[in-house]
Amino acid sequence: MIVLQIKEEVDIVGVRTTARSIAREIGFGLVDQTRISTACSELARNVFLYAGEGEARIEEFENPHSGLRITFTDKGPGIEDIELAMKDGWSTSKSMGKGLPGAKRLCDHMEIHSKSGQGTTVIIEKWLLQ
């Protein structure tokens, strides 16, 4: 497992680049590498923008699927309404509102755990299909 801190805007690029590199090393094709790195970029940016800092944990897994799992955690304000946040076009920061729903579309599995005032954890998985 690799743990990357997200404290500065440049750390978003570090998370994206590291995830893409690991995806390539374990056998993901170019299209899936791009999906993984794009989802990581969106989620790392959310950590930076909404919480100010947090971390990304990147790990390979094999149960029940083989693939890559990336967990983003922060101690920011949390997401008050996860269902609303997953709707295209909804944003609290005047952005396009594509981050969370876009990341979900790029992955095979996504979980969001959040409590108002206590932070957010987003887990994404991309499965390596043989």
Tens-digit pLDDT profile for residues 38-81: 999 999 999 999 999 999 999 999 988 899 999 999 999 998 88
Structural domain that includes position 31: 2-127
pLDDT at position 83 over 70: yes
* pLDDT tens by residue, 59-70: 999 988 899 999
Tokens for 86? 């997953």
What's the CATH code of the domain at 11?
3.30.565.10
Q: Are 129 and 77 in contact (CB under 8 A)?
A: no
pLDDT at position 89 over 80: no
CB atoms within 10 A of CB 47: 25
> For the chain, how many structural domains are there in total?
1
CA angle 97, 68, 24 (to 5 degrees): 100
pLDDT at position 124 over 80: yes
